[in-house]
Structure 1
Amino acid sequence: MTVAIVGAGPYGLSLAAHLRQLGVTARVFGEPLESWRRHMPIGMLLKSRPDASSIPAPRPGFTLACFQRARGERPLTGDQPVPLELFVAYGRWFADRLVPDVERERITGIEPAGHGFVLARDGGPDLAVDAVVLATGLAAHRYVPAVLEHLGDDLVSHPAQHPDLAELGADRDIVVIGSGQSALESAALLHEGGAARVRVFGRAGRIRFAAPPRARRLTPDSPLGAGWTIAAAARGQAAFRLLPACVRVDLARRILGPSAAWWLRDRLDGRVPVRDAQTVTRARREPDGRVRMWLRDRTGYQRQVHADHVLAATGYRVDLAALGFLPPPLRRRIATVGGLPALDASFETTVPGLYVTGPPAAATFGPAMRFVHGGDFASRRLAAVLAARFQA
């Protein structure tokens, strides 16, 4: 019996390690930590704390702290931010030790066949497997509002298109659209990298920063942050699924929604202008090669803004059509809730034998699935389900 895992990010690697611990053959396809290496900017710091940034392993000895000790470093603790470069190196170390045979091939097609599936892949013959787990993350689902996307990549781009924000060029006037960590951290990096002018226009009604450590003493703490709802989301994935679908979709959007880490505030205050509740109503390319945008605030007041480039840090919207290896007939069989795959208690879609883990599972198991921390629940449950199925 063989399980194919499409995607070699934290969720895919974690699940493979758990399956192998239980004696299930798992083949992982993809480049380890590809999205983190190619779609996140140099200099980025993870929003998650160190204790929420370890890839879940089936046995002790493979945490971020273990990796740092192995390198002769003092492990990060408390609220110290985790550098992207450190996390990528850690992810590769994890893969080398627990999933050393990741197959660096691209899956080009998945077709149901009998009681399993046949996978088409670049550079190899078709492969028959018994089950498929999609652990593809969010890189394919970046979202740019229609009001901006028609302007072209030279004027508008998404942060996921820039492994190095310096490629946008120094001494340029850049507008960042967005209210979350990606928008505000990108703005800080652009300013610190020498952009002539950086401004942030947030779409949310209020720009929110997480409370600093000293302000969290009266609320429950969790690896994902402080607060009653955040603590519940961090620990209650199984219970979250029992809520009505409409409630789950709403909570998955609002809890741990657009906000920034507390340590970003000092990098922006007095340096980068940030306005909230701004809606782009119109945008066009000017004859001089710049972009002009019309923005409306909550009072109805409209302003015009000119820029050399717009960075649309407007998040991700899962669209199964973006996964080109899923043929339309198969996609149509996958029920969705709020645009995300509808999953049962075992992470299985409405196509028997096809499972989904990671961020696209957030509408079923809650917003913790958008973070590395959610992989502990996902990998333990999904590995146990698949092991029981194959050993029956």
Structure 2
Amino acid sequence: MDPSLINMSAKYHRFGRYVASVTFWPVIFCRPFAGEATMTQHWKTDVAIVGAGPAGLMLGHLLRQAGIACMIVERQSAERVLARIRAGVLERTTTDLLDRLGINARMQAEGHPHDGFNLADGERLIRIDIKALVGKQVTVYGQTEVTKDLIDAAPDRDLAILWEAGDTTQVHDIASDAPFVTFERNGQAERIDARFVVGCDGFHGPSRRAIPTAVTHEYQFAYPFGWLGILADVPPCNHELIYANHARGFALASMRSDTRSRYYIDVPLTESIEAWPDERLWDELATRLGPAVAPHIVRGPALEKSIAPLRSYIFTPMQHGSLFLAGDSAHIVPPTGAKGLNLAASDIAYLSDALIAWFTKGDRDAVAGYGAKALARVWKAERFSWYLTKLMHRMPGDGDFERAMQVAELDYIANSVAMQTAIAENYVGLPL
């Protein structure tokens, strides 16, 4: 018996033309094909999901909650997936999905609701009171913690996850009604046959590459700097996030909890981590965050330090034949404004509703309209992340004029309720 599938309950279900009964294999709605003389392990399900990040896991749970058969295949081990350090500001869209699934207890106990955030111009803090302006909050709760909660809930909810497929995963026959996914685990070839395949496998995954290039288009902009980040077990300098625009460059003060902080500065892409020992980085953060914040910074040794490049990227179409893309497989946003995970969650909200309507009501229009509906929101989120990135960073080649425009824009924001409202409604996430 495959140890990664232990604790899955054996049940019987029927949806459309798929019948999945479990006789010898304890995997809900999935079984090997009978009567085939082959060394390939075959599975059959309704929806095959590639990628066990938050997008794939959310989709799997939503489909299982609706009684729809699905399986997830992931290239990494669960331990490697949980080792990824990611952002943790959750929009209402994301928290609503976790509430809908009932996978929210730890988020509610340990998450930090935020009523606002701050923009800094080197001298002052400009607070955007999102709760007062638009009546909503965001929640600070790490993406790693969201992923852990979704993984932990999988066995009891009969969500099968096939771990450690490595780089062997490929998606096939997406133009047909019978697509399939192949991969290898522990030296054995495996295959999942499904009615639909969903690629939640990130920018470097195989799903996007399965779409013929003749029908695709990529929109992208690479920013000429990266974010140098430090994670430290120290209390945050402020109870809300601070995005700072200083003459020396950008800085961000964020947090993971009351005792763990995350800070960033922008640096040239040619910079090395070795050039930034902890003390130099703390000094630079104090300068860029400004005199109102610097006295409250608590310094400590780095738990993790890295440089991440920034880019804006959109791939179209987000669906082709029986393949759908969601999350980073279709779009990347710069981390300014915390849209990455939240944009993936909105994709999943649209896609799960469409797939559930297809399987339960035979509604083909919902499935056909997924890509256009998702992309409309993607472009607006990309616009906001691009705007905030341009506002808070100094681009190479910018002169006194560009700097003066940033200062004027920040001053306008500080004194305009209308502008603050526009920023707030984008920050908390536009309605679905």
Q: Same fold (TM over 0.5)?
A: no
Bin the TM-score by the shorter chain.
0.3 to 0.5
Looking at secondary structure, tell me which structure has more strand per residue: 2
TM-score after normalising by structure 2: 0.41
Greater C-alpha radius of gyration: 2
